[in-house]
Structure 1
Amino acid sequence: MEAAHPVLTWRKSSHSEPTGNCVEIAEVDGVFVRHSQCQGPGILTFGRGAWQRFVRHVKDPAGTFRTAP
């Protein structure tokens, strides 16, 4: 699948496990996400707004620090 996106530069999560099980992301016009050890088919694509909401939820699932829309 990476051949379909040759300009993608992947970076590994800062919370990677020592075994290498983690996700990698690449940002171009959106955000691409893949498993670091299974880099073939299965790349997820998010728009920037959806990715920002996802990351915000992961960091604060209870919405403690949420601001008004």
Structure 2
Amino acid sequence: MEYEIKHIESAIPCLVVADPDNGRFMIREADTSGEIFNSPREMLFWLYENWTEQDFEDNALFNEILLSLQQIVQD
């Protein structure tokens, strides 16, 4: 899965990439810095601790990202 989501404080969208087939789990934040994770579980925990749906213009997309990542973790 790969999503771009618009943060309320940034002109550049955040990027969320979770590619279990290729072992890629990374996030580009609102300030264009990034985070790289070793597993989808680490990534999901980081999202819960650092992002809230109020940080983004599209709350439904934020929740879709979390649900998609939860599905990857469960598989």
Name the structure with the higher helix share. 2
Larger relative contact order (CA 8 Å, sep ≥ 6): 2
Q: Which has the larger radius of gyration?
A: 1
Shared fold per TM-score greater than 0.5: no
Q: Structure 1-normalised TM-score?
A: 0.41
Q: Structure 2-normalised TM-score?
A: 0.39
